[in-house]
Chains A and B, each alone.
Chain A
Amino acid sequence: MTRHTLLNLASPSRDAFRVEGFRFAPRQHNDADTSVAIVAGLNGHELAQMHAAAQLVNFLQTHQAEDPHFITGEILIVPAVNTFGFNMGERNWPLDKTDINAMFPGFDQGETSQRIAHHLFEHLKGFEWGIELEDRRDQYDCMPYVRMIKSGFEDKKAAAYFGLQFAHYRDFVPSDAGSLQYNWSVWHTKTYGLVFGNKQQIETHTTNQILDSLIRFLAKVGAIRTKIFAGYATNIVTQDAITLIPSQRAGVFEPRQAVGSFVKKGDLLGKVFDSLDGSIREKIYAPVDGLITCHYHYPLIYQNTIAYRMISIV
């Protein structure tokens, strides 16, 4: 393993902004069977993502030390990009509040976060596989899943290598234009988003699950040589299999079903209480049979907000 400072930017007053990358390669570089880049922490709330990536660095380093033939591909891992955000509890680039993950492919003559994206992307281009570890930007607790964006360069078969329960395969939307995942695909890297975790929290169970998924993926694409459990046979889910269940009313939200539960049509999913007089304003029921993939997880809910997301077999 070698550690590289991929980016170094001076600050007006505080310490310099640095992005660190960890490279793994076979003993003979030209023996590499494939190449994989894994990036986490493009925003400073992605604690679980940073931690999972760092655990992977540690796992690979330990195994490489024990077995010189363990690494069979080129691997680059970047556990944290927006380190300033992490150190301040902020999601975005702290000065101008721009989202680094909306600035790709970047621009070396542009604004600070465009320059950060540019210099980082120079290191990330050209990999065969690219994996972005991400949280959800909204207030949802979700089962870990793989996200694929239709770009003409996606590989649906390999989405199952992670062994997660489902992969969400969706159309491009304008807000994808500046994301790392989308720009990787424009530069012909086969790319996945791995979406998991609650905002600003780390759960050991999920970290281990994601670590397991990443190891499985690396083994299946031939970047490492190891034995691993098979995982789930991943369902590829498109928009028509997804049911969104809104709360009709605002108030205090009490979820009654956990993510990952299978429910039947008519089952109680949650309740909304009047925040002030405590009466029940609404009971939310499952409109279909299926698997609960996400629920709203903040105690206060706005009117018409999606309370649950479900997938069904169609």
Chain B
Amino acid sequence: MLETLFTIELPVGESYQLKRHRFSPNEDQPEQGKRISIISGTHGDELEGVYVITMLAEWLKSNRDKIRGTIDLYPSLNSLGIDSITRTVPFYQADLNRIFPGTSRDTFPNQIAYGIIEAIKGSNIAIDIHASNIFLRELPQVRIAKTYAEHLVPLAKKLNMDFIWVHDAITVLEATLAHTLNSLGTHALVVEYGVGMRLTPGYGQQLLTGILNLLASEGIIDMMPFSVREPCYSDHGRVYYVNAPAAGLFVPAMDHCQSVKAEQIIGHIHDPYGVNPPIPCLTPGSGVLFTLREYPIVYEGSLIARIFDAQTGVCQ
């Protein structure tokens, strides 16, 4: 059932609408069983999650008899942004994922944030799917703040992702959708993979299997759980960052998500004028290259790669 949960009048002949596609055993009853919300489109330039949600909707329509709980699909929170390749909320240039929980009477982006929380709160589980931005390509991963790791890691392991990254709490991330939902008692997981403005269909299939596995494990669909991959887990290893040592044009020499050893060449930074020779960027340690720069122009400091060192971890 497609529902419009709230609207905000726009100045000229249009309104913003928060829409949700809800699946439940009996559409006449409001909510049944465990409730899960699958979310994407907080950032208008990230489309990977929209694709997964369309595939999940197709699967659910063909398997209505297996539904035992409430599954809410929100593909496009920042719908003005999704429809116009705009990462932020247009006009205000506000990063929607930095203003939660929002307020009902303030700017347009704040009202959207507030309405989203009102719609989703009360869910048992939420999965907020992000692509990377246009600058980086990411291996399928779940990101979890340490504060909530105890409850979230067991759920994250069901999602068929390659990597679970447990990071320290950061104050500015307290204003994200996932943090706000977690603080309200919903187990909210952040999934991130691929690259901005593009689709990586293989990763989409991988996450779809993971979501179905999670739904089965939680009794939201009546099926045997799938067998899924065992993710690397960052609490048992360390993450190396590789930042550009100079400005120029970065040309990778490696594939994303390959295993690397220390002192291998990730790529070179070229001087556009060709005066200085290309500068090599080296791996600082061994592990899995889970982030690789996609957008070539770099300044000193631009992120080139992230490597998860699994030497002491659980990666195979």
Q: Which among B87, B93, B111, B241 is the interface contact of A304 at CB below 8 angstroms? A: B111
Decide: A112 near B300, CB < 8 A? Known: A302-B10, A304-B8: yes
Residue of A nearest to B114 (CB): A304
- Nearest CB of chain A from residue B90's CB, rounded to whole Å: 11
A-B contact number at CB 8 A: 100
- Write out the residue numbers on chain B whose beta carbons fall within 8 Å of the beta carbon of A244: 105-106
- Which of under 10, 10 to 19, 20 to 34, or 35 or more describes the interface residues of B? 35 or more
Q: Shortest distance in angstroms between A279's beta carbon and chain B's nearest beta carbon?
A: 14
Q: Chain B residues with Cβ under 8 A from A111's Cβ?
A: 243, 301-303
Interface size class of chain A, counting residues whose CB lies under 8 Å from the partner chain: 35 or more
Q: Are B300 and A10 in contact (CB under 8 A)?
A: yes
Point out the residues of chain B lying under 8 angstroms from A306, CB to CB. 105-107
Give residues 277-311 of A contacting B (CB, 8 Å).
300-306
A226 CB-CB contact with B under 8 Å:
no
Question: Are A249 and B298 within 8 A (Cβ)?
Answer: no
Whether the pair A275, B12 counts as a contact (CB closer than 8 A) is yes
Would A305 and B108 count as touching, CB distance under 8 A?
A: yes
Nearest residue (CB) in A for B269 is A12
**Interface presence of B154 (CB below 8 A):** no
Q: In the complex the two chains form, is B11's CB within 8 Å of A301's CB?
A: yes
Question: Given A91-B93, A138-B92, A305-B106, does the pair A175, B9 have CB atoms closer than 8 Å?
Answer: no
Residues of chain B touching chain A, judged by Cβ–Cβ distance below 8 Å, are 8-13, 15, 87, 92-93, 98-99, 104-108, 111, 133, 135, 171-172, 174-175, 241, 243, 246-249, 272-273, 297-303
**Closest chain A residue, CB of each to CB of B244:** A112
Which residues 14-40 of A have a CB within 8 angstroms of B?
none
- Cross-chain contact A302 with B172 (CB below 8 angstroms): no
Q: Is A250 an interface residue (CB 8 A)?
A: yes
Residues 214-252 of chain A: 1 if any B CB is under 8 Å from the residue's CB, otherwise 0? Answer: 000000000000000000000000000000101001111
Determine the distance from Cα of A12 to Cα of B249 in the docked complex, in whole angstroms: 7
B18 CB to nearest A CB, Å: 14
A43 shortest CB reach to chain B, Å? 11
Contact of B272 among A12, A113, A175, A177 (CB under 8 A): A12
Contact A12 B11 (CB under 8 A): no
Cβ-defined contact, A177 with B171, below 8 A: yes
- Interface pairs (11), CB distance under 8 Å: A11-B247, A12-B247, A96-B135, A109-B241, A174-B172, A246-B105, A276-B13, A302-B10, A303-B9, A303-B10, A303-B111
Residues of chain A within 8 A (CB-CB) of B273 are 13
Q: Which residue of the partner chain B has the closest CB to A299? A: B11
**Given A249-B9, A300-B11, A304-B8, A95 and B299 touching (CB < 8 A)?**
yes
Q: Are B247 and A250 in contact, CB atoms less than 8 angstroms apart?
A: no
Chain A residues contacting B8 (CB-CB under 8 Å) are 250, 302-304
Taking CB atoms and an 8 Å cut-off, the chain A residues in 65-118 that contact chain B are 91, 95-97, 102, 109-115
A178 at the interface (CB under 8 A from B): yes
Closest partner residue, chain A, to B301 (CB atom): A112
B156 → chain A closest CB, angstroms? 24
Complex formed: what's the CA distance from A93 to B253 in Å? 28
Within the complex, what minimum Cβ distance (angstroms) separates B184 from chain A? 16
A224 to B99, CA, bound (A): 41
Q: Which residues of A contact B98 (CB under 8 A)?
A: 175
Q: For the complex, give the distance between the alpha carbons of A142 and B11 in Å.
A: 22
Beta-carbon contact of B299 and A302 below 8 Å: no
Closest 6 CB pairs of A and B: A303-B9, A300-B11, A112-B301, A177-B171, A250-B9, A302-B108
The answer to whether A138 and B248 have CB atoms under 8 Å apart is: no
Assess whether A12 is in contact with B174, with CB atoms less than 8 Å apart.
no
A109's partner among B13, B106, B107, B243 (CB-CB below 8 A) is: B243
Q: Is the CB of A115 within 8 A of B301?
A: yes
* Complex: A77 Cα to B241 Cα, angstroms: 34
Contact partners of B303 in chain A: CB under 8 A: 111
